[in-house]
Structure 1
Amino acid sequence: MDLLPSAHVDAYPREHLPPRDQWPVLSCDLPSLAYPDRLNCGAELLAGGAPDAPCLRMPGGEVWSYDDLRAAADRIAHVLVDDLGVVPGNRVLLRGPTTPWLVACWFAVMKAGAVAVTVLAAHRAQELATICGIAAVGHALCDIRSVDDLAKAEVPGLRIATYGGEASDDLLRSAAAKPDRFEAVATSADDVALIAFTSGTTGRPKGCMHFHRDVLAIADTFSAHVLRPRADDVFAGSPPLGFTFGLGGLVVFPLRAGASTLLLEQAGPEQLARAVAAHRVSVLFTAPTAYRSMLQLPGGHDLSSLRRCVSAGENLPAATWRAWHEATGLRIINGIGATEMLHIFISAADDAIRPGTTGVAVPGYEARVVDPLTITELPDGEPGLLAVRGPTGCRYLADDRQRDYVRDGWNLTGDTYVREPDGYFRYVARADDMIISAGYNIAGPEVEEALLRHPDVREAAVIGVPDESRGQVVRAFVVLRDGLPQDGRTGTAEALRAFVKEEIAGYKCPREIRFLPGLPRTPTGKLQRFRLRDLE
């Protein structure tokens, strides 16, 4: 299928798509995915709710309606085009805490036909310089509180407009003088809307290019068919908007459903629990560790308003699922997504949930477990690489690693999975996190789940470390529950090892257990195993 005529004046994004023979197979079989040739996802999402319906909520009680957000985005779009000279196809970097103004900037970029490159507050100058170089970024909209590292990056030709400050040329001051109506650029459905960057923890970050239709497709598949939000829902969560997990869960999904979202600058487990109670949040997006941590907060919080809880970013242990269900009566919707795929593509909800599995392919997607060498489908019960395809897929920005991620039309996520006979997909490990010890294949997450079933264990992480006689041995890092000493007492470690041996095969038991006050995690709560390896 040929690409539609582009509305981009700056052709850089389209010119740097991978060759068509390296694309995944894309399918749009659902009727809801039959989008028109001309489609601007920003304009479509802003039309999701009634003009006076609540859209963005702030912790202090302020509420923006859909019309408020549209007017703010339109004014900023005028600044982009009239004052900054942004043309369709230009890349605009967005950086700042999760605030309504960051959301308004994202919509302004969409409506102006530009390409959003949203980064994290945690990114430092060198990382920002690398991202800007890969995406050839020429403009940036940045919260004044987050501008220092961006300025230190010294990106050649980068024009930075800040907001939230006192200067006369502050973006929001300039926007206030602009008309509150901006006609959205009639972008093509397959014009690039955003470039999302992978974490880059294992090397140079990869820019993943997603089209306007892709942004709507994640709402019209996972959200519409699995999450099933309502217009009266209040969304909240921990992932920042620089992650596609956060962009989908806190912006795309609620607005597509005409619902509202609570924007939190600080979204640790305690802040999340307080926000749920204070603002009657009904749909929550966060990582497995946050659900477990919320259960251990002193005093407890009123979580009775919740009706939907979504977990992604890393594997959800069955022990965490059951503990949350026992305490709240709520069934966490587990899911696996990827920056390359934009959002969740395997999941299950309600009575279809099977604790300990991720779920089944989301409507619109298909998945299989394949041999890593031949990409042929493996029998049920045999571990292999997870392969997926659907309406979204990997298109790296000018990156040879496209050939590794997409093979024979399938997106290979880098995860080892098993397909059960009933069609459910069970996570085994990241393909590069399998531990091979004395000829045995040991999946770290299985050992972690066994440790987490012990009542004194709050968090657990497992890695393989070199061993002369066995090749590798299992080392566990454990965070004990509050009130217990966080030390390496031999008795505690031996008690845990004995417990694990009762739960799983003895050869999988950790040879060594180390105790830490906390595990290293990304801003979205994903475990950083490489930092545990760096402890050596």
Structure 2
Amino acid sequence: MTAHVDTFARDHLPPPDQWPELVFDLPELQFPAELNCAHELLDRWVDEGHGDRLCVQGQGVRWTYADLQAQANRIGRVLVEDLGLVPGNRVLLRGPNSPMLAACWFGVVKAGGIAVGSMPLLRAKELVQIVHKAEISHALCDIRLADELALAGPQCPTLVHVLHFMTERDGGLEARAAGKPAQFDAVRTAADDTCLMAFTSGTTGAPKATLHFHRDVMAACACWPRHVLRPTADDVFIGSPPLAFTFGLGGLLLFPLSVGASTVLVERPAPDALPAAIARYRATTLVTSPTAYRAMAGQLATHDLSSLRQCVSAGEALPAATRQLWKDASGIEIIDGIGSTELLHIFISHDEAHARPGATGTVVPGYRACVLDDDGRPLPPGQVGRLAIKGPTGCRYLADDRQRQYVSGGWNLTGDAYLQTEDGYFVYQARTDDMIISGGYNIAGPEVEAALLLHPAVAECGVVGVPDDERGQVVKAFVVLRAGHAGDAAMAKALQDFTKQAIAPYKYPRAVEFRDALPRTETGKLQRFRLRSQG
């Protein structure tokens, strides 16, 4: 069964023998054959009489569930009636986080389309790659980001319909939507019809497209938020990850709506602006990256954050020093977690009561996890190997040979090196391609980073292995210093000596380079592959 008239996504799924084993062993993961996640997350609340509940806020916008539904319905009508969208067409979404971008997402999914998010900072060359890969036919684009998409247009023959929003122009999305009725029934999609394509964030240089079904979206809502975060309908979510990033889509849109809560979508959620936004909107749940928590910790005394009760970190490993810095400043224990674009969201985490410095957490209910050796055999506790995951979501790359690398023996191999403790906690070591082999020792770059971050002069750092004739590789640290500290030879030696005292001396950085900034993805992840190429 499929509602898709355009079967491109289904036709380009990996062969069934390359899929991971999917596990649906919780009662809440028993989904019907027919399912539209937009109906479940949005329409259901209005149908049940909760349409007047606050749903989404942004700059000058305060929408109830009924308001968001009406706007999404009108957008769905524009797509179908004016732009000829048929179920299964791919729709590129471009814009900073905003209520209007959220309405576009729901409009696309209600119409049976496939939402393809794109990071706001992407340039024409990168947009061309996405449009080609997904054979995108439609785009809804914030007019402030129109230039790069226009530059990409001549190289994108499949992209035949581009409509701009955040504009008062007669031909813009808002003007067209205003003339449409506010009623629009969600297409009766199959649970395993694709509803979104998410592109990986590019920490390894070559993004891949992952396919997620309607049931995947609902499964993500049923696992980590229900069993770990445990939000209520009175919570107000806020944060920094873009909706184009599955961490942001889940944490700032899907998860709050799954429990009838509200969300604040901030267009420019930089660390210097988020504390004021938390105070203004009386947010209760903060979702952002370890880098942002570290940057914000010193600003909290000047803002009223008494409404804040939960803080979530994901996207990259949370250093123990950052966890403690934030707790000292805010009094709140960060909820850490690891997820992936391939599995949609978080699969290993902990709640506030079970946080353990240096450990990511335990497996989220609904998922299974183990640590494997290079031959695919489970390793005993305490040994470092490849993190392997099974659950109700799993990797399905769009027409990509790398499917065989991510999925093996039914397991999703996340590319992370972990060890598991005797009592079931998973402790991050490094990305498997970030393990440094120096003089016969295996050294995890993030462990060295965590040690350096304990030094009061260090604002940020990235650690990689660089070639060395004598040792094979040596550990090199790229360091951003706090204001008032000089990046000279004396500081380099001080950091080396400090690291030797914090961790085993053989792990210290034999080379230190000072930088004004580190290369990061738009979602805040450190791009170590760029440091390696520059090292």
Classify the TM-score, shorter chain. over 0.9
Helix, strand or coil at the partner of 2:369? strand
Q: Distance in 2 between matches of 1:332 and 1:299?
A: 18
Q: Could you tell me how far 1:335 is from its partner in structure 2?
A: 0.4
**Pairwise CA distance, 1:401:** 1.0
Aligned residues: 528
For residues 105-184 of structure 1, what are the structure 2 equivalents within 5 Å? Answer: 105-154=104-153, 155-158=156-159, 159-184=161-186
Q: Specify the alignment match of 2:262 in structure 1.
A: 260
What displacement does 1:26 show? 0.5
- Mapping for residues 2-81 of structure 1, pairs under 5 Å: 5-46=1-42, 47-48=44-45, 50-60=50-60, 62-81=61-80
The aligned counterpart of 2:528 is: 529
**SS of 1:354 mapped into structure 2:** coil
| Aligned counterpart for 2:218 among listed residues 216, 219, 231 | 216
Alignment CA distance shift 1:192-1:298 (3 Å) = closer
- Partner of 1:130, secondary structure, is helix
Is the Cα contact below 8 Å between 2:203 and 2:525 reproduced in 1?
Answer: no
Residue 150 of structure 2 aligns with an amino acid whose one-letter code is A
Does 2:315 match 1:319? Answer: no
**Partner of 2:197 in structure 1?**
195
**Match for residue 435 of structure 2?**
434
CA offset at residue 304 of structure 1? 2.1
Q: Write the letter of the residue equivalent to 2:51.
A: P
Contact 1:109 1:116 in 2 (8 A): yes
**Contact 2:323–2:333 (Cα < 8 Å) also in 1:** yes
1:87 matched residue in structure 2: 86
Secondary structure at 2:357 match in 1 = coil
Tell me which amino acid in the other structure corresponds to 1:231. A
Is residue 205–residue 529 contact of structure 2 (8 Å, CA) maintained in 1? no
Q: Is the 8 A contact 2:201 2:521 kept in 1?
A: no
Task: Give me the whole-angstrom Cα distance separating, in 1, the residues matched to 2:45 and 2:457.
Answer: 46
1:338 to 337, 340, 347: 340
1:533 Cα deviation (Å)? 2.8
**Residues in 2 aligned to 1:322 and 1:57: alpha-carbon distance in whole angstroms:** 31
Counterpart selection for 2:350 from 330, 348, 351: 348
CA apart distance, 1:202: 3.4
- Superposed displacement of residue 520, structure 1: 2.0
| AA partner of residue 380 (structure 1) | P
- The Cα of 1:270 is off from its aligned counterpart by 1.2
* Cα deviation, residue 456, structure 1: 2.0
Residue type of the partner of 1:296?
G
Is 1:513 aligned to residue 512 of structure 2?
yes
In 1, the alpha carbon distance for the partners of 2:225 and 2:191 equals: 20
Q: Which amino acid aligns with 1:368?
A: C
| Cα offsets for 1:210-261 (capped at 9, x unmatched) | 0001111111100111011111111011100110000000100000011111
Moved more, 424-433 or 466-475: 466-475
- Work out the CA distance in 2 between the residues paired with 1:44 and 1:177: 26
Q: 1:308 aligns with which of 283, 302, 310?
A: 310
The amino acid across from 1:524 in the alignment is T
TM-score norm. by structure 1 comes to 0.96
Name the structure 2 match of 1:380: 381
Shift of 1:299: 5.6
Distance 1:361 1:247, change over 3 A: same
Alpha-carbon spacing, 1:464–1:9, altered in 2? closer, same or farther (3 Å): same
Describe the SS at the equivalent of 1:297.
Answer: helix
1:438-457 matched pairs, under 5 angstroms: 438-457=439-458
**Contact 1:368–1:377 (Cα < 8 Å) also in 2:** yes
Does the CA contact (< 8 Å) of 2:242 and 2:248 recur in 1? yes
Asked if structure 1 preserves the Cα contact closer than 8 Å seen for 2:201 and 2:523, the reply is no
What's the offset of the Cα at 1:302?
A: 2.4
How far off its partner does 1:349 sit? 0.4
In 2, the alpha carbon distance for the partners of 1:502 and 1:48 equals 56
Deviation at 1:364, TM superposition (A): 0.1
Amino acid at match of 2:268: Q
Residues 494 and 200 from structure 1, CA distance in 2 versus in 1: closer, same or farther, beyond 3 angstroms?
Answer: closer
Three-state SS of the structure 1 residue aligned to 2:278 is helix
In 1, the alpha carbon distance for the partners of 2:328 and 2:142 equals 41
Residue 196 of structure 1 aligns to a residue whose secondary structure is strand
Contact 1:59 1:275 in 2 (8 A): no
Report what 2:396 is aligned to.
395
Aligned partners of 1:298, 1:171: CA distance in 2, in Å?
39
The Cα of 1:48 is off from its aligned counterpart by 4.1
Match of 2:413 in 1: 412
- The 1:204–1:455 alpha-carbon spacing in structure 2 relative to 1, beyond 3 Å, is closer
1:429-452 deviation per Cα after TM superposition (whole angstroms, max 9, x unaligned):
000001111111110111111111
2: CA distance, partners of 1:96 / 1:292: 26
CA 298–323 in structure 1, closer or farther in 2 if over 3 Å, else same: closer
Matches of 1:215 and 1:30, distance apart in 2: 15
CA contact (8 A) 1:59 1:262 kept: no
After TM superposition, give the deviation of residue 296 of structure 1 in Å: 2.4
> 1:269 maps to what in 2?
271
Q: Matched residue of 2:52: which SS?
A: coil
Question: What CA distance in whole angstroms lies between the structure 2 residues aligned with 1:432 and 1:94?
Answer: 32
CA offset digits 1:88-126 (Å, max 9, x no partner)? 011111111111111101000110001111111111111
1:296 aligned counterpart, secondary structure: helix
Matched with 2:362 is 360
CA drift at 1:507: 0.8
Letter of the 1:23 counterpart: W
Specify the code of the residue in structure 2 equivalent to 1:57: Q
Gaps of at least 5 residues in structure 1 are none
Quote the offset at 1:201 in angstroms: 4.7
Asked if the contact 2:224–2:347 (Cα under 8 Å) also holds between the matched residues in 1, the reply is yes
Kindly state the Cα deviation for residue 381 of structure 1 after the two structures are TM-superposed.
Answer: 0.5
Partner Cα separation in structure 2 for residue 266 and residue 173 of structure 1: 25
| Residue type at the aligned position of 1:248 | G
- The TM-score normalised by the length of structure 2 is 0.97
**Partner secondary structure for residue 412 of structure 2:** strand
Maintained 8 Å contact 2:198/2:209:
yes
Deviation digits for residues 2-58 of structure 1 (CA, Å, limit 9, x no counterpart): xxx001111111111111111111111111111111111011100247100001112
Question: What SS does the corresponding residue of 1:378 show, helix, strand or coil?
Answer: coil
1:209–1:397 CA contact under 8 A, matched in 2: yes
Looking at structure 2, the residues matched to 277 and 484 of structure 1 have their Cα atoms a distance apart, in angstroms, of 32
Q: Which 5+ residue runs of structure 2 have no aligned equivalent? A: none
Aligned to 2:236: 234
* Amino acid corresponding to residue 505 of structure 1 in structure 2: A
Following superposition, the deviation at residue 399 of structure 1 comes to 1.0
Asked if structure 2 preserves the Cα contact closer than 8 Å seen for 1:48 and 1:256, the reply is: no
* Separation of aligned partners in 2, 1:153 and 1:199: 20
Contact 1:464 1:475 in 2 (8 A): yes
Secondary structure at 1:265 match in 2 = coil
Deviation at 1:298, TM superposition (A): 8.2
